[in-house]
Structure 1
């Protein structure tokens, strides 16, 4: 056989071979028609068909697909809102024929049902309820789609309301309301904190005053005890109580003058402040005590006069 006839033969043989064999990818189904009539569905792997008799009518993906649908509608309180609904669906493996031949534009069909359900459910709710009950809306969409698309060979895996976008003016008003509420809560917390500080400060001051008073009382008690002991010591050396008291007062007077003199920036002036002031004070106190004793002795001798009835 000459080369002139060999090359066309090889080309024709190769064409027939490649027309006979075809490959189906994973998660894909191929529909075969014989003389224009559906014959079979071929799954993944190497497949064969009769050249010029059978042909590939189409390929259908068996993977899960997602369709995002944006629906604009109005709520019960007359607020326009846009909802983004994501629908996840898949072609049922045993219903590839229905999915390919019964429904030409599945995306349009799904979109129509989503619009119908959302516009039937959302107008029954107020805007706040739309945010709270978005899962209920998604369930309603899935239920409606599941019943409608099952006959066309599609299974609805899941539906999600992924975004709720109110009108811009309403959104701005909601942000202002939220800001006001947060400022109110912050003011309440600040007020509570200030009140706690005031109460705790008052408690601390009261405790400080109590301790200070207790300290002063203890100090005076110790001073009195010290004076009592001093008087007892002076009595043992022949100085009576009156003279001892006067001597102690004079001693404290000089101690006070000494402590004042140690302060360089003091503005206190003690009157009288002459050198003989201490001696005069002692003499005056002794004379006063003596006169008081004399009056007391005289009253004992004469007796206290009785009151007239």
Structure 2
């Protein structure tokens, strides 16, 4: 254009139309990048869900353990109070006699619950007055052996 008296210093290009193959390749690169980012986000979300699920399960198990410990403590406290009250009201009884009686009562309560529940499966337990005494002696022996260790 210098022969017509014009000098071109810069040219602004506003509409580039690359080859169809180039456009397709650029679109695929963009799509792959977005898919990679989406996969990372999805994996991170799944990781967070698994962590929260595990934390919830751990907390649930902890609270269940606390509940069981409190239940057992309440049972022990109740048994202690029962033994003390019974031994005061019935002279000549020993703590062993009272505990044997409590075990028999618990045994029959357990049998009643098993029989009353429609969802319980069969349980085979030695049955009879001597069986409870055997169970009581086995529990007592186990506790004594644990204490000596």
Q: Give the TM-score normalised by the residue count of structure 2.
A: 0.77
- What's the offset of the Cα at 1:226? 0.9
Distance 1:242 1:167, change over 3 A: same
Give the root-mean-square deviation of aligned CA atoms.
2.6
Equivalence map 1:93-112=2 (5 Å): none
**CA distance 1:205–1:254, shift in 2 (3 Å):** same
* Counterpart-to-counterpart distance in 1, 2:131 and 2:79: 18
| 1:23-102 superposed matches below 5 A | none
Please give the alpha-carbon distance, in whole angstroms, between the structure 1 residues aligned to 2:27 and 2:135. 85
Q: Does 1:263 align with 2:113?
A: no
Q: 1:215 aligns with which of 49, 57, 67?
A: 67
Q: 2:39 aligns with which of 187, 196, 205?
A: 187
Selected match of 1:280 from 106, 130, 133: 130
* Deviation at residue 200 of structure 1 after TM alignment: 0.5
- CA distance in structure 1 between the partners assigned to 2:56 and 2:134 by the alignment: 47
Deviation, 1:113, is 7.2
1:187 to 1:113, Cα distance in 2 relative to 1, 3 A: farther
Larger radius of gyration: 1
Give the structure 2 partner of residue 169 of structure 1: 21
Instruction: Kindly provide the CA deviation profile for residues 236-270 of structure 1, in whole angstroms up to 9, marking residues without a partner as x.
Output: 12222110011001100000011011013422223
Alpha-carbon distance, 1:177 to partner: 0.2
What is aligned with 2:105? 251
The alignment partner of 2:17 has SS state of strand
3-state SS of paired residue (1:232): helix
How many residues were matched structurally?
132
* Contact 2:107–2:132, Cα closer than 8 Å, also in 1: no
Cα 1:210/1:189, change in 2 over 3 Å:
same
Q: Which runs of 5+ in 2 are unaligned?
A: 142-149
